[in-house]
Amino acid sequence: MTVRPGRRGTNLDRVGGFNDAVVLDAIRRSEQLSRVELAEATGLSGQAISNIARRLLDAGLVREAGRLRGAGIGKPRTLLELEPAGQYAVGVHLDPAVVTVVLLDLTGEAVARRRMLIEDADKPDVLIDAIAATIEDVLLESGAPRDRVTGVGIAAPGPIDVERGVVVDPPNLAAWHLVPLRDELRERTGLPTVLDKDVTAAASAEKWAGQGGSFVFFYLGTGVGAGLVIADEVVRGASSNVGEIGHVIVDPDGPVCYCGRRGCVGETSQPRYLVQQAVHAGVIAQGIDIDDRQAVDVAFAGLCAQAAAGPGLAREIVAALAERIAKVVEDIANLLDLDRVVFGGPHWEQLAPTFVDVVRKALDGRFLVRAVHPFEVAGTSLGADVGAIGAASLVLDQTFSPNPSVLMQSSALVGER
């Protein structure tokens, strides 16, 4: 007879916090709500709503926003809305080429942002110093009082060790091996920190921005990756390393991937590969140095622009990429019974004009449960900051979202304020 670990019980303190979060989230979703509407929306009693509203007002997290004159009798209803300055969260997105830092207020608005090109990723310590300094700059610029800053969310390329807050061994950051990024940033900033995978942070951002249901966030950049939200909850898998889709084979006769096989979707999505195809097809003049990243990026932008302009060889090359990606999206959508794909990442803006139609057409006949519900193709509304916004949303999410899992476990935020 052994005591095997199971779920933990819950208690009234946690339920109180849970219900506060339910109310806060209901206000966030509808922007303004009266107490009566809150009771309707949450299923909580009028008395419970009154107590919770009082607590949230006292804590400076919500504010009164005028009165609503209804058609019925009785006194006009006071509307409640979020107090934007009630809390702030810092988001840091570590990309192999650039670090983005944003500060979100309680409503999820970015009130400050900075970008920092990475010149020397080979010295993690130096880079972490620079990130910490950038965070201080952003806080200073925003004027946000430090005691209202809930924490720092960090979005990093996988694989990560989320328990230890460690960046394990990302393919495009050669010198980063077991770097304890979360604790290093906590020590430098004195703020609670949380680390998650870049694509998961992006999926969290989309959810926070209003994407509901079940969807895949499909990242198109130097690599490809997937963030997952199923039934309104961000999916993290066994070790927060979901979304490694780069080695799905989409073209067995395609280019050799570093993994040793041919035609991995990650490899065939590289600007380098597409530019080579374009040179081969005579769309781009020969002589480009395929190892010169900047030259390749410029040529790639030209190829995408030409594809967007109309039919022709350039469009065929980009459309073929869209078809390959569509097959991966199809397989993920059928596996997970999703409502939607949301595309994003640094290449998305250039690819979108060609991609949307091709992917939608490819999926229309291929999504297997379309008899039960449709499948949508969308692009991010958060632009290039989606990773950093997502990182900050991890902090907002943990503090304010009524995720049922919050009832069972303590917060993943490490460090006390």
Binding positions for a second copy, 5-44, rule CB under 8 A: 5-12, 15, 18-19, 22-23, 25-26, 29-33, 37, 40-44
268 binds a second copy (CB under 8 A): no
Rg of the Cα atoms in the chain: 23
**Shortest Å distance, C-beta 23 to a second copy:** 8
Residues contacting residue 6 through CB under 8 Å, at least 6 positions apart: none
405 binds a second copy (CB under 8 A): yes
Among 87, 100, 204, 240, binds a second copy (CB under 8 A): 240
289, 280 contact by CB (below 8 A): no
Q: Which CB sits closer to a second copy, 60 or 237?
A: 237
Residue type, 369: V
Distance of CA 371 to the CA centre of its chain: 30
**Shortest Å distance, C-beta 344 to a second copy:** 17
Alpha-carbon gap, residue 313 to 150, rounded angstroms: 51
Among 137, 244, 297, 349, binds a second copy (CB under 8 A): 244
Alpha-carbon gap, residue 366 to 281, rounded angstroms: 30
Among 93, 272, 324, 327, binds a second copy (CB under 8 A): 327
372 binds a second copy (CB under 8 A): yes
Q: Which residue has the tokens 């622009």?
A: 305
Distance, first Cα to last Cα, the chain: 41
Alpha-carbon gap, residue 54 to 46, rounded angstroms: 12
Give residues 204-223 in contact with a second copy (rule: CB under 8 A): 213-214
Q: Which CB sits closer to a second copy, 264 or 307?
A: 264
**Shortest Å distance, C-beta 337 to a second copy:** 3
Cα–Cα nearest to 155, from 203, 211, 224, 111: 203
50 binds a second copy (CB under 8 A): no
378 binds a second copy (CB under 8 A): no
The per-type count for the chain, helices as H runs and strands as E runs, is: 12, 15
366 binds a second copy (CB under 8 A): yes
Q: Which CB sits closer to a second copy, 230 or 356?
A: 230
Among 94, 181, 318, 332, binds a second copy (CB under 8 A): 332
